[in-house]
DNA sequence: AAATACTGACTGAGTGACCAGTTAATTTCT
DNA sequence: AGAAATTAACTGGTCACTCAGTCAGTATTT
């Protein structure tokens, strides 16, 4: 999988660099899958939004399912490299690290992957949420393939800094942490509705300030 | 909305009572929507599983969207009546109640609505999860209509038993609690995978023992 | 010229919705 | 009470439309 030439070794690496149609399709897919879900999204709409003929998508990705996985693969690799880098830097210091920065390392790269692609309003985060919560096989296989390995790293980190935590409880802790994080990524607008505008799930930094202590305290309760 | 005759005042109120086709359609819809999502589900499959002609669904519910809402409405009313009853009983006692039973009241009726309908394996819980996390308008309107009112009750209860909790933090606490609960309802099988079978998200009681202390500790951290 | 990138018209398999007509239940009239 | 009229429940077939995927052919690059 992957593009054949990718404007090989081109001089243009600026943010203004005209991206390849290959990447334009993936960007468009991200937006459309996020808004409409896997079944609801249509190849036609993805093509239109990317400004290419529908046939080109099939030329590059063969099927809708392959396109979906390629889109997940691209962004999740970027995110999980960031998460692994942050976690490694935290864990390789001399003394036992705090829990807080570990939990923050869990979420920050996902948030930043969303806002750098400013236009699409955290589209991938929404795909992540529905993928992670799905009981369907396609989504579970993607979670297993792209997210279980990094999950194991965080679970081990939890156990390392919280010696009282059994492996089972560390796994529960990880799952609960992800569950809390979902409320930040889903962007449902519900917090604002329930609080008459006091809370805003659009501001990730505001949420992290609440989420990190909540989760860390929860994890310590399981230790 | 609602069935017209419903075997009026029939003698049979047993669990073996042959249900109406109207309810059979709603049951089938629950299963199919849970497995395939809104777009992925087809009226034909819902009809087949219910053992009725496809036209009958349109006769009773007019459109797919109306059917979906009717299905959500039926089950969510049942669940939220249970939640309100439990919460009221906790709050009307003399002294300040503990946080723990309140959090448990948040989840138990949902769990029990799932297992009583033994056959469908918590189908509605999965619909709940995807509805609550959706950024799509249809799902958000349903959440607002059927779940925001009871949410406000629990938010008030949080503030009542945790005097240090501001309204904003109580809303966050509610959102995070729901987020954690999702990991129990989604039935992804991921906990088992991540723990080599140590953890099992099929057993709701096992999960509640972990979830309740996690959430309560988290809420106290925001107080 | 050879390979790669790309187009746009096309296909067959569904899709939700619709409807004319049939059967079952309930109400009204005698 | 029993026939007639009315309404509700239900069926099977069909409609217009949309879907993912295909393909012959054209442009672009190497």
pLDDT confidence tier of residue A121, bands split at 50, 70 and 90: confident
CA-closest candidate to residue B87, choices B71, B76, B99: B99
pLDDT tens-digit readout, A6-42: 333 333 333 335 578 999 999 999 999 999 999 999 9
Instruction: Determine which of A70-74, A186-190, B16-20 has the lowest per-residue pLDDT on average.
Output: B16-20
Tokens read off for B91 = 């709050």
B7 CA to chain A: closest CA distance, Å?
A: 36
Q: Look at residue A11 in the predicted model and tell me its pLDDT.
A: 33
B39 CA to C8 C1' in angstroms comes to: 28
Query: Does the CB of B21 sit below 7 A from strand D?
Result: yes
Which bases on strand D have an atom closer than 7 Å to a protein beta carbon? Answer: 8-14, 18-24, 30
Q: Which fold has domain A1-62?
A: Arc Repressor Mutant, subunit A (1.10.10)
pLDDT confidence tier of residue B116, bands split at 50, 70 and 90: low
Query: Does the CB of B63 sit below 7 A from strand C?
Result: yes
CB-CB neighbours of A204 under 10 Å: 21
CA-closest candidate to residue B186, choices A124, A96, A129: A129
Which bases on strand C have an atom closer than 7 Å to a protein beta carbon? Answer: 4-10, 14-20, 25-26
Q: Look at residue A7 in the predicted model and tell me its pLDDT.
A: 35
pLDDT tens-digit readout, B162-185: 999 999 999 999 999 999 999 999
The Cα diameter of chain A in Å comes to: 57
Rounded CA gap, A62 and A66, in Å? 7
Domain assignments of chain B as residue spans, ordered by start: 1-62, 68-222
A161 CA to D17 C1' in angstroms comes to: 59
Tell me: pLDDT of A116 over 70: no
Q: In angstroms, how far is CA B28 from the centroid of its own chain?
A: 17
pLDDT confidence tier of residue A122, bands split at 50, 70 and 90: confident
Q: Look at residue A168 in the predicted model and tell me its pLDDT.
A: 97
A47 CA to D24 C1' in angstroms comes to: 21
pLDDT tens-digit readout, A175-207: 999 999 999 999 999 999 999 999 999 888 999
Which residues in chain A are closer than 8 Å to B222, comparing Cβ atoms?
Answer: 210, 213-214
Q: Which fold has domain A68-222?
A: Tetracycline Repressor; domain 2 (1.10.357)
Query: Does the CB of B21 sit below 7 A from strand C?
Result: no
Query: Does the CB of A24 sit below 7 A from strand C?
Result: no
Contact B35 A132 (CB under 8 A): no
Average pLDDT, chain A: 90
- Residue of A174, A207, A220 lying closest to B194 (CB–CB): A174
Host H or E run for residue B163: none
Give the closest nucleotide to B57 (alpha carbon vs C1'): D10
Contact B213 A221 (CB under 8 A): yes
Query: Does the CB of A63 sit below 7 A from strand D?
Result: yes
Spell out a b/e string for A140-156, using b for 16 or more CB atoms within 10 Å of the CB, else e: bebbbebbeebbeebbe
Contact B214 A213 (CB under 8 A): no
Write down the residue that tokens 């490694």 correspond to. Answer: A88
Give the 3-state secondary structure of residue A183. Answer: helix
The answer to whether the pTM exceeds 0.85 is yes
**B1-62 and B68-222: identical CATH topology:** no
């Amino acid at each position: 999988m992957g593009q054949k030439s990718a404007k090989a070794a081109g001089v243009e690496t600026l943010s203004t660099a005209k991206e390849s149609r290959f990447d334009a399709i993936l960007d468009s897919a991200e937006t459309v899958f996020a808004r409409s879900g896997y079944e609801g999204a249509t190849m036609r709409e993805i093509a239109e939004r990317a400004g290419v003929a529908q046939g080109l998508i099939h030329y590059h990705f063969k099927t809708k399912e392959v396109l979906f996985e390629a889109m997940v693969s691209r962004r999740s690799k970027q995110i999980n490299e960031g998460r692994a880098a942050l976690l490694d830097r935290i864990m390789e210091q001399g003394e036992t690290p705090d829990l807080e920065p570990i939990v923050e390392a869990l979420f920050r790269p996902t948030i930043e992957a969303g806002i750098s692609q400013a236009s699409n309003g955290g589209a991938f985060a929404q795909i992540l949420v529905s993928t992670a919560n799905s009981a369907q096989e396609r989504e579970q296989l993607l979670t297993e393939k792209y997210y279980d390995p990094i999950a194991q790293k965080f679970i081990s980190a939890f156990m390392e800094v919280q010696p009282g935590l059994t492996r089972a409880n560390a796994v529960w802790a990880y799952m609960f942490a992800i569950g809390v994080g979902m409320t930040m990524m889903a962007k449902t607008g519900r917090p604002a509705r329930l609080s008459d505008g006091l809370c805003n799930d659009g501001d990730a930094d505001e949420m992290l300030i609440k989420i990190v202590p909540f989760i860390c305290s929860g994890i310590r309760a399981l230790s």
